[in-house]
Amino acid sequence: MNCTNTKSDTSFQKEFSRTFREKLILTRTPVSGSLEITTQCNLKCLHCYNEGNMTEELPASFWKGVIDQIVEEGCLFLLITGGDPLIRPDFLEIYEHARKRGVIVTIFSNGTLINKDHLKLFRELPPALIEITLYGIKEETYEKITGVKGSFKMCMEGIDMLTEAGLHIRLKTVILQENMEEFQEIRKFARNRDIDFRSDPAIFPRLNGDPEPMNHRVEAERAVAQELSDPEVLRKWKDYTAKHPDTQGMKKLYNCGAGKIAFHISPSGILQPCLMTDNISYDLKRGDFRNGWKKVIPGISEIEAPKGLKCRDCDRAVFCGYCPAFLELENGTELRHSDYLCKIGEYRLKYLKEGVS
């Protein structure tokens, strides 16, 4: 969940948020989107889903035009991502245009490319959040994953510059075999600096179908034990599951906000329901956002969950991170469950009930 809301936690605001979301879904307002403005990155992370999937970049004028179109249709929250979006020389031009159109912007970056020009504009037009991936707390571990000498120091310097500038950042890490033993220290590093932190055990194949990243997955029970060893994360999961009933008897294959209130635009200008699926898509180089959103993208909401799909009647689907696009990347089809996700769900449910020893 890439939430850019404030930290306020009152029951009134929770109810307002729920009611607001329900209304947006009914009206199919594209309130939240992501722009993947490049596949380029200065790192070579061993688990990256984009490796070997390089595309020609579209000019800033294209992205600025897209931002104008999505704002007209109701977009309020926007993620700018890549690759690493800061690698583009015209990143600040694109970012500034989004902020001046009133969009609430989150940026995903590896943090190694932060410079004085970024800080200057970020102070003038602050992003809601800059999320930095920290792959290890030791230089050797970090650079084993990123494949680039000197990148650990660059990342740490980037984190320091952003925090010293008073900008809102969050650190995250992907739980891998290579950094598993440092997970607690990575989290401790963030908490000691009063920086928000999140983690993710979900490693999936590259978008070009290469399954190699899955070789770096941590065994499900160990990954969940690490994830839920944080009392705050455990509390949030309990709160989340209390508000979201299980998905037994679900009729539709996609039950998330993709294509309902959320969208993704790929580096080649393709409008998709989300990053991970391009089965339903619309080329924005040949048409406008409104047409694609209203006439093509709704198709994702019409796909029925077949009776033979194990996930359809599973009472753990709310715990596993069920995602049909994830299933397709792993299995070649949306209609077959993932053994790994099943185990993630099983252990999350177990630890939510029993606690983590």
Banded pLDDT at 7 (limits 50, 70, 90) = very low
State both tokens at 257: 């906000």
Q: Residue 19's pLDDT is what?
A: 74
Q: Is the pLDDT of residue 174 over 90?
A: yes
d(CA 136, CA 145): 8
Q: What is the mean pLDDT of residues 233-259?
A: 77
Poorest-pLDDT segment among 110-124, 165-179, 230-244, 332-346: 230-244
Other CB atoms within 10 A of residue 35 CB:
24
d(CA 48, CA 20): 35
Q: Is the pLDDT of residue 6 over 70?
A: no
CATH number given to 23-218+255-303: 3.20.20.70
Burial of 343 by CB count in 10 Å (0-12 exposed, 13-18 middle, 19+ buried)?
Answer: middle
Q: What is the mean pLDDT of residues 92-121?
A: 98
Give the residue from 92, 117, 120 showing the smallest Cα distance to 107.
Answer: 92
The better pLDDT of the pair 19, 3 is held by 19
Q: What one-letter code names the amino acid at 17? A: S
State both tokens at 327: 């299933």
Poorest-pLDDT segment among 20-24, 106-110, 277-281, 338-342: 20-24
Give the residue from 175, 193, 192 showing the smallest Cα distance to 229.
Answer: 175
Q: What is the value of pTM for the model shown? A: 0.90
Provide the percentage of residues in the chain whose pLDDT is more than 90. 65
Poorest-pLDDT segment among 4-13, 215-224, 256-265, 310-319: 4-13
State both tokens at 80: 């700018």
Q: Residue 58's pLDDT is what?
A: 97
Q: What is the mean pLDDT of residues 72-100?
A: 97
What is the average pLDDT score of the chain? 89
Poorest-pLDDT segment among 25-39, 47-61, 82-96, 327-341: 47-61
Torsion sign, CA atoms 240, 243, 248, 254 = negative
d(CA 164, CA 168): 10
* Tokens 């997970």, residue located: 183
Question: What are the extents of the domains in the chain?
Answer: 23-218+255-303, 220-253+304-357
pLDDT tens per residue across span 158-170? 999 999 999 999 9
